[in-house]
């Protein structure tokens, strides 16, 4: 089994911009690249699970999303980091258009994307994390039985009170989470 960090994309890896889909609008969140590099050194693999209701609403296409995700991976690979796979939910139950207006099991906080990643990459639930900036990320992590982590980037600050109630660890960004996790590994003797 493999240990993984399952990541939300918008507000966690990249700066939150409503319905981001253009490469020219993309920018990494502070500490994201450094955090991913450190987590990779600790032996984690990465998968992304992202709600993309902009597709459902007709703001951009699945092809636009795939193009941006490929660009993100190209940038990260130059830094020695690889996202194994980007899973995305293109649906919205109320605001979707046509085939995208459905109740699905992939839209977080549902666990469809996480379950698919867990199966496909043989992910060790006990040793893995779901990191995101939104309550839906945290709820999906809890439901999928991986340890949830909230980052304060993106929408994270809006959910601090609820996370404190749930006892969910909170970090400034991915890098601060990775540094803390590295300390844990230093204290483990094999």
Is 180 catalytic? The answer is no
Report residue 148 as tokens. Answer: 């949830």
CA dist., res. 67 & res. 155, Å (int): 24
Active-site position among 10, 18, 64, 137? 10
Is 133 catalytic? The answer is no
Active-site position among 8, 124, 133, 180? 8
Assess contact for 102 and 56: CB atoms under 8 A: no
Assess contact for 140 and 111: CB atoms under 8 A: yes
Helices 135-144 and 112-120, packing angle to 10 deg = 50
Alpha helix ranges (H) inside the chain: 32-41, 53-56, 62-77, 112-120, 135-144, 160-166, 174-186
Catalytic residue positions?
A: 8, 10
């Amino acid at each position: 089994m493999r240990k993984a960090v399952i990541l939300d994309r918008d507000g966690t890896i990249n700066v939150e911009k409503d319905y981001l889909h253009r490469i020219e609008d993309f920018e990494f969140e502070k500490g994201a690249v450094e955090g991913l590099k450190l987590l990779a050194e600790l032996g984690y693999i990465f998968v992304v699970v992202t709600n993309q209701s902009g597709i459902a609403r007709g703001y951009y296409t699945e092809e636009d999303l795939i193009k941006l995700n490929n660009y993100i991976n190209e940038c990260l690979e130059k830094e020695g980091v690889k996202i194994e796979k980007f899973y995305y939910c293109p649906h919205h139950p109320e605001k979707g258009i046509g085939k995208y207006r459905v109740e699905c099991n992939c839209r977080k906080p549902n666990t469809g994307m996480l379950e698919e990643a867990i199966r496909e990459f043989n992910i060790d639930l006990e040793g893995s994390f779901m990191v995101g900036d939104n309550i839906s990320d945290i709820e999906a992590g809890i439901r999928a039985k991986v340890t949830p982590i909230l980052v304060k980037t993106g929408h994270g600050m809006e959910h601090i009170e609820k996370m404190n109630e749930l006892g969910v660890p909170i970090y400034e960004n991915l890098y601060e989470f990775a540094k803390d996790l590295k300390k844990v590994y230093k204290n483990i003797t094999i």
